[in-house]
Structure 1
Amino acid sequence: MSAALPLRDVQLPPAPSWWPPAPGYLMIGAVLLLALLILALLILALLWWRRRRRQQRWLQAFDRELAGATDAAAEVAAIAGLLRRAARQARPGSEALHDHAWWLRVDPQATLPAAQRDLLAEGAYRPQVDAADVAVLRRWARGRYLAMLQERRR
């Protein structure tokens, strides 16, 4: 060896940059993100399914209660009772409301036609009840019953 060659110390390469991470870390991060997304979707699907199932049970109970009615007048009375029960469960004390206050509670947007509203009026004399009016009332009451029961969950 020649003495003319300068001796140099061993130099280390520069420190690796922290960005971008190694591909392995990127894959692990992607898998974790995908797993969290799937978990969130499963939780949302479970909550939706439970809510739907609860609504179906409420509507089945509504239909069972009305199945026991023998005639149209008895069905109207059963509908009125179910609406009172739903109002009481949604907001305790609602069952004690009368006349205008009761209608503001049961039908706040006044979506029920006057003919069907008269059927549900307290103490209304119902010698002859039209089946078509009862069918409209049943459809409306079913949706309103469900809406009032859902109010108590909020």
Structure 2
Amino acid sequence: MAPDLVLRDIHSPPTPPWWPPAPGWWLVAGVVLLALAFVLGRHWRRARARRRAEAVFDRALAQATSPTQRIAAMSELLRRAARTRVAGADRLQGEDWLACLDAADPARPFSDGIGRALLDGGFRRDAGDLDIDALQALARARFLGWTAPR
């Protein structure tokens, strides 16, 4: 090598700009947006189905004028909902029906609690001694559990 040769230091290339991103980042962004759209769409559809089920329950009970009619309406709605989830639920009677309603709840509110009124509450002459609002809340929770999408 010649001693009079002027050597210059190695120059680094300029840093790449942050915009536009590389094609891989566009792909990642697209996948994330699609996943977000899927999750939001699914949540929206489930919320809409839940609102519809709530409206069906509330409308049926609003049409009932007496406590016994409210109990009968709750029983009818629960039987309709049970047919869609439990095979043979529409043929169950008595304690078997209450056990079907209690299937997911270890507290057994239908067999041992206020839910027992569903057996004969719709046929009573006077249902004034029953806590209809508590029964309605219990029946509504079970109805929505069966009708709202999982």
Please confirm whether the aligned pair reaches a TM-score higher than 0.5, indicating the same fold. Answer: yes
Aligned length: 130
Q: Which residue of 2 aligns with 1:15?
A: none
Deviation at 1:121, TM superposition (A): 1.3
TM norm structure 2: 0.75
Deviation at 1:82, TM superposition (A): 0.7
Separation in structure 2 between the aligned mates of residue 26 and residue 115 of structure 1, nearest angstrom? 62
1:65 aligns with 2:60: yes
Using the size of structure 1 for normalisation, the TM-score is 0.73
Distance in 2 between residues matched to 1:143 and 1:123, nearest whole Å: 19
The equivalent of 1:6 in structure 2 is none
Alignment partner, residue 128 of structure 1:
126
Q: Which has the larger radius of gyration?
A: 1
- Residue 98 and residue 54 in structure 1: after superposition, are their counterparts in 2 closer, same or farther (change >3 A)? same
Residue 114 of structure 1: how far off its partner (Å): 4.0
What percent of counterpart residues are identical? Answer: 31
Mapping of residues 33-44 of structure 1, within 5 Å:
33-44=28-39
- In structure 2, relative to structure 1, the CA distance for the partners of 1:67 and 1:123 (3 Å cut) is closer
Unaligned runs of 5+ in 2: 1-17
What's 2:88 paired with? 93
C-alpha distance 123-26 of structure 1, shift in aligned 2 (>3 A): closer
**Would you say 1:29 and 2:24 are equivalent positions?**
yes
Please provide the CA RMSD for this pair. 2.6
